[in-house]
Amino acid sequence: MMPPEEENLGGPRKGDRTGGLVLLPGPKSGSARKGCDPFAQTQRSKLQHRRARINQQINKEMRMRAGAENLFRATSNHKVKETVALELSYVNSNLQLLKEELEELNSSVDIYQNDSESISVPMIPLGLKETKELDLLVPLKDFISEHYGEEGVLFEKEIKEFMELRQAMRTPSRNEAGLELLMEYYNQLHFLDSRFFPPTKPLGVFFHWYDSLTGVPSHQRALAFEKGSVLFNLGALLTQIGARQARAALPGLNQAIDAFQRAAGAFNYLKENFSNAPSLDMSAPSLDMLVRLMVAQVQECVFEKMTLLRAQNDFLARLQLAQEAAKVEDVYSLVHQTMTQPHVKDYVPFSWTTMVHVKSEHFKALSHYFAAIALCDCPVASESELPEQEKAFMQFHLTMPEGPSLRVLLQDPEERRKLGKAHLKKAIMKHEEAMRIHGLCKILRKMDILQEVLSFAHKRSLSKYSEIDHEEDFFETGDAPDIHPKTHQKPEIKPPNFSQVKVTDLFHRLGPLSVFSAKNKWYPARRVHLMRGENGFGFTLRGDSPVLIAGVIPGGCAAAAGLKEGDYIVSVSGRDCRWAKHAEVVQLLKSCGADGVDVAVITLHGSEAPRAVDKKAAGMSSGMLKSNKENSRKSLMNSKSPSTLLVWSKKSKRSKKSTYSGVPFTAVGDNEAMY
């Protein structure tokens, strides 16, 4: 498999490719999948409607600002400049208010959470990118008439079916069916690309999408922009599915882990395979931030999973929980650094940055809390358990704690209590820092569930500290060293598996893509009348769908009728043969009577030159007629490669049929048949 190539979202389209999808060219009907009811009054749909309204208002204000700026630069009238400057100030003020409203919308993470009564730390989901309706009826009909020489009106059903699929994918349901709908549309864009987007001429259609984070509209003619936006929504929908899982039990945790890992894979795939994105949410720094955020949320779910699986009073289990919490703190610290970079912090919602910072401090506090619990609540190790505990504790801290030797520390309850007290002191400090940062964000202050989680963890640490604090303690509590981050389940970035959704070429009636595609050009179909001579028709056929005339015998019936090497047979006796197998075409030719047979053929541009005869053996009296054009129907292999839809291979299988009639076998190529 070839490595994936980038799709340029801001520049010219790259060449067509065909990859490892299950792309079916058969005549079956298209998708039966539908999106959500756009008028359903769910919390999520109301949020999306508000997003769409804000996007439209931002679009309007930006157009007004562009017009005012042009007028300000063009005019030399002082009064006009003052009026325009005042208008620009008003427009910029409106844009700032709309930006704040959209940021508040992006911060409404509680709407996407699970409705169960169990208390879990909220996860950060993404809203879907909005797009405008797209009318493809006239452009595709015109292209079919101009490029394919067919009546465009005959393909109205297929065009409307594609438009209905696009309309449905704008409102996908928040489950596996919604994901399949987005992937089906994404896969269907492969056929649209191959059929209607030539490499040298734009179709004249603009794809409009709004930035998920800023609401700023973008539009491009490049189909790569459409594909990239759909792929972004695939990742965004996965974040919503992950956030809604009930994480108080293992099934919900496993589903959340899977959803966030797949979301990370979608954003990472978008970052690696698309370039020059016109919107900020699809820029490389933004996608890098989103990948890291998803990985951090996976790590958080792994920690929650460990709390359910580990024994309550086991010393080693408590150490592992402390290290898992330290790992969550480590990855959230990295996300916070990414969110505060100059090119990212201006458009990432402040509530996201604050929540990530809060989680970083919160899980650092938890790591120290579980370290204290391991030291203070778990029984002292026996002689048989001591070597294993020593080994684990040697790798537990980033720096070894001051005081007695490790063996003494683990066997002396008082030394354990002292170190545990130091860890609890640090835990309480970090809990208070998390609550302080939480209080700085107005939006997070409204989030009751997060407040409950932080408050509960803080009170728990305070209670434990009071429990182990003795009045006769005259020693000064030392500073506990930080805990070495370690995880027992490393997050996996799962790229999209496009092959899991089978799609059917809606425009299969135009013919096999190996020939009838936007990148190929051909002369109008020629209709010839063939008569069978003593030695047959006098041509060599090869392959199928469509069948290729690989060679024409000079002086034969085919040559006299005007057939040429490199012609493709598109009909025999009025029957469409573009999708016909080799044997079917042969049978139609053989069934002709004394009156002969009518054959329609096309010739691709650039294939008119006669092929050279390949002389492989000296002294061979008859040459081998071989065409270098492979023309069998594309059979796309079912592959789980992440590069399935960006790396489209042009390889196709040669027909293995080899029949002959009336001529020596040596005059016919290995994969050809003479008639």
**Residues 6 or more apart from 46 whose CB is under 8 A from it?**
none
pLDDT at 285: 93
What CA–CA distance (Å, rounded) separates 507 from 623?
40
Q: Is 667 helix (H, G, I), strand (E, B) or coil?
A: helix
What CA–CA distance (Å, rounded) separates 369 from 420?
8
Share of the chain above pLDDT 90, in %: 40
Question: What is the mean pLDDT of the segment spanning 524-547?
Answer: 86
Tens of pLDDT, residue by residue over 224-266, are 999 999 999 999 999 999 998 989 899 999 999 999 999 999 9
Determine contact, residues 277/9, Cβ cutoff 8 Å. Answer: yes
In 241-385, the DSSP E strands lie at 274-275
| CA-based end-to-end distance of the chain | 38
The yes-or-no verdict on residue 666 having pLDDT over 80 is no
The CA distances from residue 165 to 23, 133, 170, 511, in Å, are 16, 12, 9, 22
Pairing relationship of beta strands 217-220 and 526-530 according to DSSP bridges: unpaired
Phi and psi at residue 268, to the nearest 5°:
-65, -40
Segment among 92-96, 179-183, 223-227, 449-453 with least mean pLDDT? 92-96
Q: Is 76 helix (H, G, I), strand (E, B) or coil?
A: coil
Interior angle at CA 68, CA 65 and CA 69, nearest 5: 85
Beta-bridge partners for 208: 219
Interior angle at CA 324, CA 318 and CA 326, nearest 5: 105
Tens of pLDDT, residue by residue over 398-417, are 888 777 787 878 888 888 88
Q: pLDDT grade, residue 121 (50/70/90)?
A: confident
Measure CA 367 to chain center: 34
- Residue 145 is given by DSSP the state I
- Residue 542 is given by DSSP the state E
**Residues 6 or more apart from 414 whose CB is under 8 A from it?**
none
Q: pLDDT grade, residue 621 (50/70/90)?
A: very low
What CA–CA distance (Å, rounded) separates 256 from 33?
24
Tokens of 287: 């996608």
**Residues 6 or more apart from 589 whose CB is under 8 A from it?**
530, 537, 572, 597, 599, 675
Tokens of 45: 């749909």
ω into 546 cis (within 30 of 0): yes
Measure CA 651 to chain center: 25
Determine contact, residues 326/486, Cβ cutoff 8 Å. Answer: yes
Q: pLDDT grade, residue 632 (50/70/90)?
A: very low
CA neighbours within 13 Å on the CB side: how many for 344? 18
pLDDT at 65: 79
The yes-or-no verdict on residue 640 having pLDDT over 50 is no
Question: What kind and span of H or E run contains 504?
Answer: strand 503-504
Determine contact, residues 325/367, Cβ cutoff 8 Å. Answer: yes
Q: pLDDT grade, residue 163 (50/70/90)?
A: very high
pLDDT at 11: 46
